[in-house]
C-alpha cells in the first residue's frame, strides 16, 4: 500500500496561467489557472468532457502552445527553470527535453506507443534508443524498470497483441523510462476491468513511491479521492479546489429505484446453448450461452476483458453468426460500438445521424428529435471530430437511436462520457425500457451497472 512520502517542499512543476487561446479560437479555453505539483504527490483534476482537461494536460507536458500558433500568457516552472509566455513571445519548446521532466500518457495509451517495435522491451527502450544510450545500458535499464513495475512477463510480447490493460501498463512504463519528475495521466483507468484497474493503480503507486509526481485528469474524482493530495475541478476554463461537500457529491452514485419487470412481458431476445467464434479462431469466444431478455428489461454483461461481451453483442446485432445453438431476436436491434471514432463517417453531426437513411424515409424525421433528446441540437452543423469526446460518444449513440431499435445494445457506453453525458445515457435507457424495449449493455463501470441493470449476467 502506498504511504505518503515525507513532505518535500519544492514543487517540481508549477503553472501560473493567465490565459490560453487556441490559434483559431476567439475566447481563452483556460484562464487564471494556478497549479503546483510536488514530488510523489497525486494531484487529481476532474472536469466535464470539453472542459479543457486535455488542453491543460498538453500544456503541462509542453505539447501546447504550438510555436507561432496558440497564445499562452503566464509562466511554467519546470526543472528549476521558469519559462515566461506572453502575447508577444512564445518560446520554442523542445518537446523531447520537456518530456524528460514531465510526460503525458494520453487516454488512448496505444497512441503513446510507437507501433513499430517487435517486443515490449524494445518499446520501453524506444526513447533511450533515440537518445543514443549504449545497448548494454539500455538492456539493464529496461530489466530494472520491468522488475520494479512487475512487467518482466510482458517483455518479450508483441506490443500489438496486448490487451487494453496491458497496453496501458506498457505505455506507462515507457513513459517512466525517462524517469520524469511528473507524469500526467489522462483517464488512466478508463475502459479497464477491475483486475486491470488494480494493476494500473498499483503501478501508479509504485511510481509515486519512487518520488514521481502524478497528475491525473479524470471525469470524476470518485476512484481517486481517498489517495489524492489535492483535488481540483476544472470548470469554465479555470481550476477550483474541490471542497469536501463537492467531493461527496461526485462520490454519490445515482441509484435509480429498481423497476419491476412483468414476468409475462414479451420475449425480445433468446439464446439457447449458443457458441460464438470468429472466423479462423481455434476456439469459441463464447460457449454454451443461455440468455433470455424480455421487454422492459436491462441486462448487464459483466466479466474481464476478453470474456466475450463484445462478441455476444455483435452476434445479437447480426454481425456474427453463432457456430452452434439458437439465437433469436424478436425486434430490431441497434448496437453502440465501443470505439466511437469507427462509427462516424460524415462531415457534420446532422449528416452523420442521417447516414444510411433513405431521404424519403419517415426515419429522417426522427433525426432532429434524437439530436434534441441527446442535447446535440446545437452541434448539428459541427464536424464530429471537432466535438469533445463525450459529445462524440453521444453522436454515435444518436446514430443508433434514430433507427428506433427495440433491442438497444451498448458496448462500454460510459467510456468517454462525462457526468452530463452519463445522465443523458441513463435517461435514454429509462425511456427505451418504458416504451417496451430491452437493453443489453456491457460495462466495467460497476456503479453504472448497479444503477441501470435489472440483472447482471457474468461472462466467463
Binding site for another protein (CB under 8 A): 61-63, 95-96, 98-99, 103-104, 106, 108, 111-112, 114-119, 121-122, 125-135, 138-139, 142, 160, 174, 314, 317, 319, 334-335, 337, 339, 341-345, 355-356, 385, 399-400, 403
Query: How far apart are CB 233 and another protein at their closest, in Å?
Result: 26
Shortest CA distance to 229 belongs to which of 7, 432, 1?
Answer: 7
Q: Which is nearer to another protein, 143 or 238 (CB)?
A: 143
| Paired sense of beta strands 213-218 and 182-186, if any | parallel
Q: Which 8-state DSSP code applies to residue 363? A: G
The grid coordinates of residue 203 equal 503501478
Q: Which is nearer to another protein, 197 or 354 (CB)?
A: 354
Q: Please, what's the largest Cα pairwise distance for the chain?
A: 72
Query: How far apart are CB 265 and another protein at their closest, in Å?
Result: 26
Q: Which is nearer to another protein, 16 or 178 (CB)?
A: 178
The grid coordinates of residue 95 equal 518537446
Query: How far apart are CB 254 and another protein at their closest, in Å?
Result: 29
Q: Which is nearer to another protein, 385 or 460 (CB)?
A: 385
In the block, which residue shows the cell 476483458? 305
Q: Which is nearer to another protein, 143 or 270 (CB)?
A: 143
299 touches 440 (CB < 8 A): yes
Give the contacts of 434 (CB within 8 A, at least 6 positions apart): 296
Query: How far apart are CB 80 and another protein at their closest, in Å?
Result: 20
Alpha-carbon distances, residue 251 vs 29, 73, 221 (angstroms): 27, 34, 7
Query: How far apart are CB 246 and another protein at their closest, in Å?
Result: 32
Q: Which is nearer to another protein, 104 or 293 (CB)?
A: 104
Shortest CA distance to 57 belongs to which of 122, 103, 97?
Answer: 103
Return the half-sphere exposure (C-beta side, CA atoms, 13 A cut-off) of residue 105.
Answer: 30
Query: How far apart are CB 394 and another protein at their closest, in Å?
Result: 16
Amino acid at each position: 500500500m502506498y504511504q505518503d512520502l515525507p513532505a518535500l517542499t519544492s514543487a517540481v512543476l508549477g503553472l501560473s496561467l493567465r490565459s490560453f487561446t487556441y490559434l483559431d479560437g476567439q475566447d481563452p479555453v483556460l484562464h487564471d489557472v494556478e497549479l503546483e505539483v510536488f514530488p510523489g504527490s497525486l494531484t487529481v483534476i476532474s472536469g466535464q468532457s470539453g472542459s479543457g482537461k486535455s488542453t491543460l494536460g498538453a500544456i503541462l507536458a509542453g505539447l501546447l502552445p504550438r510555436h507561432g500558433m496558440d497564445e499562452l500568457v503566464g509562466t511554467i516552472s519546470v526543472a528549476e527553470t521558469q519559462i515566461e509566455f506572453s502575447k508577444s513571445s512564445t518560446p520554442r519548446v523542445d518537446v523531447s527535453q520537456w518530456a524528460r521532466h514531465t510526460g503525458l500518457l494520453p487516454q488512448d495509451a496505444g497512441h503513446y506507443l510507437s507501433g513499430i517495435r517487435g517486443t515490449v522491451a524494445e518499446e520501453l527502450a524506444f526513447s533511450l534508443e533515440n537518445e543514443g544510450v549504449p545497448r548494454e545500458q539500455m538492456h539493464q535499464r529496461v530489466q530494472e524498470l520491468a522488475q520494479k513495475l512487475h512487467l518482466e512477463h510482458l517483455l518479450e510480447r508483441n506490443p500489438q497483441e496486448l490487451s487494453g490493460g496491458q497496453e496501458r501498463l506498457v505505455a506507462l512504463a515507457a513513459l517512466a523510462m525517462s524517469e520524469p519528475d511528473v507524469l500526467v495521466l489522462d483517464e488512466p483507468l478508463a475502459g479497464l476491468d477491475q483486475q486491470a484497474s488494480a494493476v494500473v493503480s498499483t503501478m501508479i503507486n509504485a511510481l509515486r513511491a519512487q518520488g514521481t509526481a502524478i497528475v491525473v485528469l479524470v471525469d470524476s474524482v470518485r476512484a481517486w479521492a481517498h489517495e489524492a493530495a489535492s483535488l481540483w475541478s476544472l470548470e469554465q476554463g479555470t481550476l477550483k479546489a474541490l471542497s469536501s461537500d463537492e467531493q461527496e457529491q461526485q462520490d454519490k452514485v445515482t441509484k435509480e429505484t429498481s423497476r419491476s419487470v412483468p414476468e409475462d412481458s414479451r420475449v425480445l431476445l433468446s439464446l439457447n446453448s449458443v457458441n460464438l467464434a470468429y472466423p479462423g479462431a481455434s476456439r469459441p469466444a463464447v460457449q454454451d450461452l443461455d440468455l433470455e431478455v424480455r421487454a422492459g428489461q436491462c441486462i448487464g454483461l459483466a466479466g474481464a476483458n476478453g470474456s466475450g461481451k463484445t462478441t455476444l453483442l455483435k452476434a445479437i446485432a447480426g454481425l456474427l453468426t453463432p457456430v452452434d445453438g439458437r439465437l433469436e431476436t424478436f425486434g430490431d436491434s441497434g448496437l453502440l460500438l465501443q470505439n466511437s471514432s469507427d462509427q462516424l463517417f460524415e462531415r457534420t453531426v446532422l449528416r452523420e445521424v442521417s447516414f444510411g437513411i433513405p431521404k424519403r424515409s419517415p426515419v429522417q424525421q426522427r433525426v432532429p428529435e434524437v439530436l434534441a433528446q441527446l442535447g446535440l441540437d446545437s452541434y448539428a452543423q459541427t464536424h464530429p471530430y471537432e466535438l469533445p469526446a463525450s459529445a462524440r460518444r453521444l453522436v454515435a449513440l444518436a446514430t443508433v437511436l434514430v433507427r428506433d431499435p427495440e433491442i438497444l445494445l451498448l458496448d462500454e457506453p460510459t467510456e468517454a462520457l462525462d457526468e452530463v453525458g452519463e445522465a443523458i445515457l441513463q435517461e435514454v435507457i429509462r425511456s427505451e425500457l418504458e416504451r417496451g424495449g430491452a437493453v443489453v449493455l456491457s460495462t466495467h463501470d460497476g456503479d453504472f451497472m448497479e444503477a441501470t441493470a435489472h440483472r447482471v449476467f457474468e461472462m466467463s
